[in-house]
Structure 1
Amino acid sequence: MQRLSNGDTAPEFTLTDAAGEDVRLSDLRGRKVVAYFYPAAGTPGCTKEACDFRDSLASLTSAGYTVVGISPDTPAKLATFTEKESLTFPLLSDPDHAVTKAWGAWGEKKNYGRAYEGLLRSTVVLDEDGVVTNAQYNVRATGHVARLRRELGID
């Protein structure tokens, strides 16, 4: 898959959120966006990352960023995860991996020496016009949000 790079225009999407409502990337124009891709709601790494975004949301929002999480989970599973972890930003469902692939967050993974295709934990930051300003692939769940905040100059 082709990964997004700084200066690329992010591919448009329409995805369903935890409440069953459609969210379009074009509806977020005019705001800076942090879109993060994670493999599965409720797993230890994904929970850690989501909670780190939740705990950093005030500083990200005050710096003008809107956060959205994208995974292959169903809206019902996202709703359960959102409620359980008290998440206050939208989680979006990409069950067919179309957006994940278009944004370059799908590729070869290795686990115990076995190679397979899957979702790569990734974060893409967009400016108000939907242009990529920061794209990170194969990030670690722990410490990622703190590092992203430092790179974006957010205390």
Structure 2
Amino acid sequence: MNKIKAGDKAPIFNAKNQDNKDISLYSFGNKTIILYFYPKDMTKGCTIENKEFSELIKEFDILDAVIIGISPDSIESHKKFITKENLKQMLISDSTKEIANSYGVWVEKSMYGRKYMGILRSTFIIKDGIIKEAFYNVKSSGHAEKILNMLKNF
């Protein structure tokens, strides 16, 4: 896995969000982008992580940051997840795993001795097309607040 690190140029992406709208790395002008990858809509850890980002969205807005969640789930799945959990942030569908591959988070995992490919829960802080911070294998609970506090100190 090629890990991206602070100082690297952020891989460019183009994908559709939950409203079937085209979104790219450059859709947000000068805003700081919090780009987080999570494995699957409506699973326990992913729901915790997404809800925590959603609950803090106003504080991220104050810091001129946009929050974008990415998973391999479909646009339709994202719509249902947003409605069910009343999420406020944008979710992008990466069904081809092209974005996950470019960020080095589509990896071989192992559970109970069985190997499979999956998303490594990861977050990237991007400003002006450059990775400011990269976090791999993050814990879902408390992560959004950790990112918010880090952003306050930028």
Aligned-residue identity in percent: 34
Question: Equivalent residue for 1:137?
Answer: 136
Question: For the aligned residues, what is the CA RMSD?
Answer: 1.3
8 Å Cα contact 1:15-1:94 kept in structure 2: yes
Question: Equivalent residue for 1:48?
Answer: 48
8 Å Cα contact 1:29-1:130 kept in structure 2: no
8 Å Cα contact 2:6-2:132 kept in structure 1: yes
Amino acid at match of 1:115: K
Q: What is the CA distance between 1:146 and its match in structure 2? A: 1.9
Question: Equivalent residue for 1:27?
Answer: 27
CA deviation profile, 1:88-112 (whole Å, cap 9, x unmatched): 2210000010000101112132212
Amino acid at match of 1:136: F
Q: Which moved more, 1:24-33 or 1:45-54?
A: 24-33
TM alignment of 1:1-155, pairs within 5 A:
1-127=1-127, 129-153=128-152
CA deviation profile, 1:53-87 (whole Å, cap 9, x unmatched): 00111111101110000000000010011111111
Q: What is the CA distance between 1:23 and its match in structure 2? A: 0.7
SS in 2 for 1:53: helix
TM-score, normalised to structure 2's length? 0.94
SS in 2 for 1:26: coil
Question: Counterparts of 2:96 and 2:90 in 1: how far apart (Å)?
Answer: 19
SS in 1 for 2:146: helix
Amino acid at match of 1:130: G
8 Å Cα contact 1:37-1:69 kept in structure 2: yes
TM-score, normalised to structure 1's length? 0.93
**Gaps (5+ residues) in structure 2?**
none
**Gaps (5+ residues) in structure 1?**
none
Question: Counterparts of 1:36 and 1:145 in 2: how far apart (Å)?
Answer: 10
8 Å Cα contact 2:38-2:69 kept in structure 1: yes
Question: Counterparts of 2:139 and 2:34 in 1: how far apart (Å)?
Answer: 16
